Each structure stands twice: as C-alpha cells, then as structure tokens.
Amino acid sequence: MIYFERQTSRLCGVHAINALLQGPFFSASDLAAIARALDDEERSLLDQSSLRRSSGSHAERSENVGDDGNFSIQVLCKALDVFGLSARYASADEERGTDSAKELAFVCNLSEHWFALRRLGDAWWDLNSMHAAPKKIGTFYLDAFLNQLTAEGYSIFVVRDLAAAALPEMLGQNGEYGEWLTEEECLRLTSEAETAQASGRARLAAESAMKTLSDGPSRLVVDGGVASDVVDLTADRELQAALEASMEDYGKLDASGTDTDADLKAVLAASLEEIEGGDASIEAAIAASLRDEEAKMDVDVARFAEEPDAGDGIVSLAFRLPDGDRIARRFACASSIADVEKWLEVAKRLDMRSNCLALAFPPRALADASTSIRDAGITDREVLAVRPRP
C-alpha cells in the first residue's frame, strides 16, 4: 500500500513530508507551530545581534511560512528532525552519490511547490501531490529524472536513515488529506488521468486550429465535407485529425450549404440592423447603470464612514492585500464576511468578486459570505489574506 495526499490549497509542504514518511504524521497546524518556533528563534537571534531591524518589521512577517501557507525547507527539516531524520541539499551529483537508486527518499522544490520521491519496496514513486495518484519511476530512469529536475531549476534534498527511523505504524490512517492506494489503483488512476489530459489536448488543438483558420488570411474551402488546402496541418497529426473530424461533422449537418448560408446572412443582417438602431438606447442604459453604481458606492462609503470603538463584541482585523500592502480596521463580531468584503471594495477598490478572504492556518478560504465573523471562527487581532478565489 502507498500513502498519498492530493493537493489541497497551498499545502504541498504538508503533502510532501507526509508522503515521504508514508502516513499522516503532520497537519498544517503542526508545521505552522514549527514555523512560529523558528521565527521566534530567528527574532531572538536578531535582537541579540547588530543586525536588529529598528523598524520592528521582522516581527510582522514570517520568514518560514508565506501568507498562502507555503513552508520553508527549514520547517520541513525541523519536522523530519522529530524522527531523527535530516534533509541535505543534493542537487550536486557528489552529494547524491554515484547511484541514486540506493537512496530511499528525495524532497524536491521549485519556487513554491514541494514534492517527494520515495523508494517503496523495489520501486521508486513520484509522490507529487499535483498528480492524480503516485507515478511509478523505473529504477534506471531515476538518475535521468533527477538530472531533468535539476536542469529545470529544482532544488533536490536527499533524506537518509529512513530505514532506521522509529516511525509509528500509520497503515490505514488517512488523516485529513490522504488515502492508501494499491499499486494497481495507482497505475489505473494515472492511466485515467493521462487519457483525460490527452483528450483535453486534442480538444484544445481543434479549437486552436479553428481559431487560426478564422483569424488568418486563408479561406476555408469545404468540398464534400473535407477541409482542403487551408493550412498545413501535416506537421501535427493530432491537430489534423481533430480538424478533419470537425469538418466532417460540419458536412453532415449541411451537405448543400446554400439555403443555410442564405438564412444565416439574413439573420446576421437583421441583427446588425437591430444593433445599429439600438445604439442610443444602449448608451442610455449604460449611463443609467453607471449612475446606479455611483449611488450604491456613495451609500457604501457612508455606511463604513464610522469605525466602531474597541470593546466587547468588537475585533481588530488586519488584511494582507494582493499588492503586498496592509490595512486594518475594527468590526463588530456580528458583521458578515460580506460586510468585510464590501469594506475592502470601498476602502481599497478591490474586486472581491474575483478575490476572497482567507485564514492563514490552516489555510481556508472564507467562501460563505453570509457567515458572521464570530461564526467563521475569526478572533481579535487576526490577520486575513486577500487572495484569488479558488
């Protein structure tokens, strides 16, 4: 059996460490606690040195966990240290050794994504949480795979002494994010995902071809339902097959094309006449809509003009905005998430239709705007992030 966690929010660090250890050993809250402890150690060190920052800004932003829940390698190493394990930078061949297949595990990182490679039995598995299931890696392909990751900019860390680690038995325990899969299930889920991806690529290829034809200078010539001499598709067989299938369907729908073309031209002409005749009414409607929006904005500005005084039933909240700015305000606990979002729209002109509020730990989007601040579990002096809606 193979333990695997699929991607949830930005918790790839949690997924990677649990996949490597083969069990739900750590939660997002566990790694967050480790990150806070590391932050405290670093701040204490800064306070005792000449590197202390006079602005005090180091106490505000964590260097070990991002606003979106992404953890640093220091956090993952500290988590491994709980079981007497360590991760060493191994992008260089000399650290990996002459035979990578003799290792037991690697942790790989690029930008903000972590995933684990693990030898289970006689086989290596890619436990990337972005996959539908663990992917089997041939032992002879492992070195080439690691070299490819290095060339793509990944940092690779080797984890040793796993065989001697005293890890508690976790078989059958799924935790919050994971599940146990047989090798057969892994292969089946991977095959199904790859088939779906191939189907999606074929559909996109057909759409791209049709767009090229409609945008380009060439004319589409239909002769018996077959596309002829429009664009050179011979370099991409998948694209050619998809386009020809589309053209065959087109031919089946209308073999003659004459009557349909005439009807289509008549409908288009009528539509154009309606649009031209309706320009004045459209402009008037737009102007009226703008006036309504301005009136609503004036009402909202007046609504949030006075900030409640501190006291019972009032919380002070800070917000981290997409542009890196910070803003804070007091709200009544009975206020809804929608009220907070509306204030952000008024105060910072944010588009909260495409953004949402989110708690940092564990990372959770506040999707139900009708929920009150109290019922959402938001406490005084909490920091919320504004991020794109999932």
Rg of the chain on CA atoms, in Å: 29
CA distances 151 to 37, 100, 144, Å, are 34, 16, 10
Q: Are 134 and 66 in contact (CB under 8 A)?
A: no
100, two tokens: 């990578």
Residue type, 326: R
Pairwise CA distance, residues 88 & 97, whole Å: 12
Catalytic annotation present for 109: no
- DSSP type of residue 324: S
351, two tokens: 């588009």
Pairwise CA distance, residues 332 & 313, whole Å: 6
CA distances 253 to 225, 260, 262, 263, Å, are 10, 10, 15, 15
Pairwise CA distance, residues 330 & 346, whole Å: 15
- DSSP type of residue 209: H
Catalytic annotation present for 58: no
What does the DSSP assignment read for 15-37?
HHHHHHHTS----HHHHHHHHHH
271, two tokens: 């539509």
CA distances 100 to 93, 97, 160, 163, Å, are 9, 6, 12, 16
Exactly one of 64, 109, 128, 355 is catalytic; which is it? 128
Q: 258-285 b/e with 16+ CB inside 10 Å = b?
A: eeeeeeeeeeeeeeeeeeeeeeeeeeee
Exactly one of 58, 113, 131, 147 is catalytic; which is it? 113
Exactly one of 12, 77, 108, 186 is catalytic; which is it? 12
- Classify 326 as helix, strand or coil: strand
Catalytic annotation present for 64: no
Omega of the bond leading into 362 within 30 degrees of 0 (cis): yes
Q: Catalogue the active-site residues.
A: 12, 113, 128
